[in-house]
Amino acid sequence: MARTSSADIPQPVPARGRPGRDREATLLPGPKGRPDAGALPERPRTAVVGGGIAGVAAAVALAERGVSVDLYEAEDDLGGRLRGWPVTADGFPTTMTRGFHAFFRQYYNLRALLRRVDPALGMLRPIADYPLLHADGTAESFAGLPLTPPWSVAAFVLRSKTFALADLWKMNAGTAMSLFDVSVPRTYDELDSVDATSYLDSIGFPHAARHLAFEVFSRSFFADPKQFSAAELAAMFHIYFLGSSEGLLFDVPDGPFSQTLWRPLREHLEELGAQVRLRNPVERIDRAGGRYRVQAGGEAAEFDAIVLATDVRALRGLVAASPDLGDPAWRAAIGSLRNAPPFLVSRVWLDRPAREDRAPFLGTTGFALLDNISVLDRFEDEARAWRERTGGSVIELHAYALDPAATEAGQTSLAQAMIEEMRAVYPELRNAQIIHQEHVTADDCPLFAPGSFASRPGVTTADPTLVLAGDGIRVDLPAALMERAATTGFCAANALLGHWGVAGHDLWSVGNQGRSPLLRMAARRRRPVPTA
């Protein structure tokens, strides 16, 4: 079974014209070749299936090189899990989404996609702090920390309320040092068989510290730490904290995703000549001679190449319905992909504001349901307009890794319980009246279960004209969540462009090793690898 591995990805070269402040961000050169597919004897035609971040990145990268692109999307707008749809709150037209997303500054390839339509990234608004709160009242903050590791880590530990000097002496330093020596895919070879909870147990982190410093992040992958790969946790900590000097603060779009991101990107694609086919789910893909026949909406069209960029459930279904695609091992790998447990997003429009000093985003842990709180009117223009019009506030709540049985039993009761937890955290809202509320439950995020990395399908396949993209697809680079989606989308396009002899696109990555040579050396000398 073919996949994108370290051998498939160009070796990093020293950074030129870095995409951020990090001097160790690495450039991954795209394939060399003709500047435009129009120079080929025949312009290739490609179907991109799925209009989320990965599919849009692949479609943009191909269309910019003159490839004829048809982008198929089942929903009525682009965006995938970042799409939005209109709702009315107390007579006020507004937009509902599947929840807040953080655009971290080390998301180099996602930001490169957005720069196609907003070179200065004026659509993004910086968030000044990212506080974390445990249900017992313990809190942490990332504001004011040095940005460069390991000094950022040292400063965090020194000012932390959850670490004491005695705790540091009790920790298993050998295992903890593995966090300073992360490299993909080696870290997965060492740690993927272990779950995140067992890994943290083996380190001996103080109870409160592990909740605030690790569980908040692991649950952002929509999984309970017992069901989450320790390698994915270690790689995530490298991406956001130990391997990058971009810091842990982030930016957010200043308006709904549909208006700030997807409308301009759709216009960009159409200006490039791409066909954006909304409300057009692909039902089946067959081989037709040396080409592919895509069946969607009762119609069939032929293509020279395919990019599959759907969520994992849709990918499983489409591959099962398309027996001509792939070899048995690859089809089995697709069939083995699993979804994370359900999550719930609740948004409430209230008759009074949150306190002025409340952070726009608060990560929470130790609660029965609540995983974070966003005060949307602090950064999103539609929510701010609601506050100015009514004097109220728009609050969004997230709950991850829910019990599927409880979710099926009652979305409304779960939402109300989460709202009560929010009122306890923000007591000024205890008596606030709910003017309107919207709730979304879904279970379509990929699960990074222990032991799943080795069989996880990568971008490339045995067929050079069939490629995959998405946040659930393997790429042997330190990337996660939205950045993994964008990166695999560009990698998929580059694989096709390279096959046709057309120039690809340069990509960037967080450095794929620990920042400090001394700490890396110490980790390799002292590190015992935990066993499952």
Per-residue pLDDT of the chain (532 residues; tens, 9 = 90+): 444 444 345 545 544 578 999 989 999 999 999 999 999 999 999 999 999 999 999 999 999 999 999 999 999 999 999 999 999 999 999 999 999 899 999 999 999 999 999 999 999 999 988 898 989 888 888 888 888 887 887 787 778 777 766 666 777 777 878 888 999 999 999 999 999 889 988 888 777 677 666 667 667 778 888 899 999 999 998 998 889 999 888 999 999 999 999 999 999 999 999 999 999 999 999 998 889 999 998 899 999 999 999 999 999 999 999 999 999 999 999 999 999 999 999 999 999 999 999 999 999 988 999 999 999 999 999 999 999 999 999 999 999 999 888 776 688 899 999 999 999 999 999 999 999 999 999 999 999 999 999 999 999 999 999 999 999 999 999 999 999 999 999 999 999 999 999 999 999 999 998 887 777 777 676 555 554 4
Axis-axis angle for helices 53-63, 108-115 (nearest 10): 60
Look up tokens 């050396």; give the residue.
521
Are 264 and 235 members of one domain?
no
C-alpha to C-alpha distance for 57 and 477, rounded to whole angstroms: 17
Within a domain: 447:
no
C-alpha to C-alpha distance for 481 and 107, rounded to whole angstroms: 9
Which two structure tokens, joined as six digits, stand for 446?
Answer: 């990929």
Q: Which residues span the domain enclosing 317?
A: 26-80+256-337+456-509
Q: What are phi and psi of 494, to 5 degrees?
A: -60, -40
Are 158 and 243 members of one domain?
yes
Length of the chain: 532
What is the DSSP code (8-state) at residue 429?
Answer: G
Last residue of a domain, one of 228, 248, 268: 248
Is there a cis peptide before residue 35, judged by omega within 30 degrees of 0? Answer: no
Are 333 and 474 members of one domain?
yes
Within a domain: 360:
no
C-alpha to C-alpha distance for 437 and 348, rounded to whole angstroms: 4
Residues in contact with 232: Cβ distance below 8 Å, sequence separation at least 6, in sequence order: 192, 196, 221, 448, 453, 480
Cα angle: 473, vertex 479, 483; to 5 degrees: 85
pLDDT at 207: 72
By C-alpha distance, which of 377, 294, 384, 343 is closest to 98?
343
Within a domain: 435:
no
To the question of pTM greater than 0.85 for the whole model, the response is yes
Are 264 and 244 members of one domain?
no
Last residue of a domain, one of 248, 280, 314: 248
Q: Give, for 335, the enclosing helix (H) or strand (E).
A: helix 328-336
Tally of domains in the chain: 2
Are 59 and 189 members of one domain?
no
pLDDT at 5: 42
Last residue of a domain, one of 248, 277, 311: 248
Contact 245, 511 (CB under 8 A): no
- State the sign of the Cα–Cα–Cα–Cα dihedral 336, 340, 341, 342: negative
Contact 200, 172 (CB under 8 A): no
Are 286 and 237 members of one domain?
no
By C-alpha distance, which of 469, 470, 484, 502 is closest to 63?
502
Q: Give, for 477, the enclosing helix (H) or strand (E).
A: none
Contact 132, 140 (CB under 8 A): yes
Axis-axis angle for helices 230-237, 196-203 (nearest 10): 70
pLDDT at 206: 73
pLDDT at 125: 94
